[in-house]
Chain A
Amino acid sequence: MPRNSLGSLEADVMDVLWAAPGPTTVRQVLDTLLAGRTVAYTTVQTVMDNLCRKGMLTREPAGRANVYRPAATREEFAADLVGAALSGAPDPAAVLIRFADRMDDADVRRLAEALERRRSDAGEGPAT
């Protein structure tokens, strides 16, 4: 997936915050990022403000600086994203097309047996 540089920075910032043990300041995020790339404080500040606006981060004042934390864990965010895709919530007009829909257990059993018969008819084992 080609990301533009700002999108890629967003991903890196989220990675830092998801890996962080607790609330984090812009300075702490910047220091972690600087280990791998050159980036300005104000850029990181902007990216983190954007992420707050999108609801990805929450911000609260702590002393003279603000501290940030992810609104959801990485796992929750990923599960929500996939869940939204599979429930068709954003827009049923084919935002995306999924491979398989839910089948009844009875149908699955019946078809799996038929599949096994066809596989042995074809003279192959289950490993086609």
Chain B
Amino acid sequence: MTALVVAVTGLVAAWTLPALLAAARWPLRYPRAAMLAWMLVLPATYGTVIAAALSLVLHLPPIAAALHAWLPGHTDALLRSYAHLGGRPLDAVVGGVAASVVTGAVLAVVISARRSAADRRRYLADLGLVARPVGLPGVLVVDVPQPAAYAVPGRPGAVVLTSAARDALDAAELTAVLAHERTHLRARHARLLGVAATFARAGWLPGARDSHRSLRLLAELHADDAAARSTSPLVVAGALLKLGRAATPEAGIGIGAVGMVARVERLLERTVPHRRPLAPVAMVGAVTGLVAMLTIQLAVLAAPIATAAYDAATCDLDCRSGSEPW
């Protein structure tokens, strides 16, 4: 029963929580906590569904035999605690599907991360042919008439500034843009966004697209906050307007016009006192709730094994001579 309850809870949560989190307003004020919340949502929902499905493999003879050798005398009770889908073939199929989903997801993330890393290395090498360092650590200027600024992650990464952007921005705005891009690099936003982008390719899954879209905006908000701390919210807003006005329309990786407007409006609101007194409560509630959900789901799943292991460790020799058919 246990696994079934966990799986159903996880599925219901997967259909509801991402939409709730995507619609919430508190993430605008606490982008880092919201990024943490998104990182918790997927394990707490899909993660626990898959863990529950994986628990079916405990019924398969080789694994059950291994369990019996490890926890003599307690295996029958242990296996009774886990759902048994009415036959070993079905257990094997569901457990096998879950295992291949996990393997496939890990492989997809690793492969796409490798490909991105190779693309970035090649890009940085090409950049080295035309860009010049300008005395600021990690900053490269490229002579291009179009104003633009971006971060290329890597080891080390680089902040790229076109000569037109450098000319368009005043000193404070330049400081803000560099602080923004360096925050992307330091916080390794690209890594998180890469995982989210990979997951978003399974766009038919509830929450897959929401998580990617939200994380892209949240990464920008986090970097905007760092830039605002190093200068002021109005300076960052001014730099966004200057570069947003000049940006090329085709958008591949950015957050689009809607995100830009949200970012500028948020920075402008910064100068007035907080108008959302409940935002801290909502933030703490959401993060705590997600941590609790993940913990409880995993604890419920692991409880029978933990109990059996504890019993086996504490019982005396008598109870191991029980009559299990193994």
State the A residues within 8 Å of B (CB): 1-3, 7-8, 10-11, 14, 56, 74-75, 77-79, 81-105, 107-108, 111-112, 114-115, 118-119, 121-122, 127-128
A103 touches B116 (CB 8 A): no
Say whether B313 faces chain A, with CB atoms less than 8 Å apart: no
Instruction: Flag if B238 contacts A101 (CB, 8 Å).
Output: no
B143 A99 Cβ-Cβ under 8 A: no
Cα(A118)–Cα(B266), bound, Å: 12
Stretch in B1-9, B50-58, B254-262 with 4+ CB within 8 Å of A = B254-262
Question: Are B271 and A101 interface neighbours, CB within 8 A?
Answer: no
Is the pair B253, A122 in contact by a Cβ cutoff of 8 Å?
no
Interface: B83 (CB within 8 A): no
Cβ–Cβ contact B243 & A97, under 8 A: no
Would you call A86 and B235 a contact (CB within 8 A)?
no
Contacts of B160 in A (CB 8 A): 82, 85, 96
- Contact with B149, one of A100, A105, A107 (Cβ below 8 angstroms): A100
Tell whether, in the assembled complex, residue A122 and residue B234 are in contact, meaning their CB atoms are under 8 Å apart: yes
Pick from B194, B248, B265 the residue with the most CB of A within 10 Å.
B248
CA gap between A111 and B261 in the complex, in Å? 8
Determine which of B128, B146, B257 lies in contact with A104 in the assembled complex, contact meaning CB atoms within 8 Å. Answer: B257
Contacting residues, chain B, for A90 (C-beta < 8 A):
119, 123
* Least distance between B235 CB and chain A CB atoms (Å): 5
Q: How far is the CA of A40 from the CA of B129 in the complex (A)?
A: 21
**CB nearest to B151 among chain A residues:** A97
With a 10 A CB-CB cut-off, give which of A2, A97, A105 has the most chain B CB atoms.
Answer: A97
Give B residues with C-beta under 8 Å from A. 112, 115-116, 119-120, 123-131, 133, 140, 142-146, 148-153, 156, 158, 160, 162, 170, 172, 177, 180-181, 184, 189-190, 193-194, 197-198, 219, 231-232, 234-235, 237-241, 243-245, 247-257, 259-261, 264-265, 268, 271
Contact, CB under 8 Å: A1 / B148: no
User: Are A91 and B130 in contact, with the CB atoms below 8 A?
Assistant: no
Chain B hits for A104, CB < 8 A: 257
CB pair B193–A93 under 8 Å, yes or no, is yes
Contact of A95 among B123, B189, B256, B261 (CB under 8 A): B123
Q: Which residues of B contact A2 (CB under 8 A)?
A: 156
A81 near B142: Cβ-Cβ < 8 Å: yes
B293: min CB distance to chain A, Å:
28
B244 touches A97 (CB 8 A): no
A103 / chain B contacts, CB cutoff of 8 Å: 241, 244-245, 247, 257, 260-261
B130 and A78 contact, CB distance less than 8 A: yes
4 tightest A-B CB contacts, nearest first? A88-B252, A100-B243, A98-B150, A101-B254
Q: Is B244 touching A102 in the complex (CB atoms < 8 A)? A: yes
A11 close to B129 (CB less than 8 A): yes
Q: List, in ascending order, chain A residues with CB within 8 A of B130's CB.
A: 14, 74, 77-78, 81
Q: Which of B120, B180, B264 contacts A96 (CB 8 A)?
A: B120
Q: Among the listed B148, B177, B190, B235, which residue makes an inter-chain contact with A128, where contact means beta carbons less than 8 Å apart?
A: B235
A119, B125: Cα distance in complex, Å? 42
| Chain A residue contacts of B133, Cβ below 8 A | 1
Residues of B within 8 A of A87 (CB): 248, 250, 252
Question: Is A77 in contact with B129, judged by CB distance below 8 angstroms?
Answer: yes
- Which residues of the other chain, A, contact B247 by a CB distance below 8 angstroms? 86, 98, 100-103
Contacts of A77 in B (CB 8 A): 126, 129-130
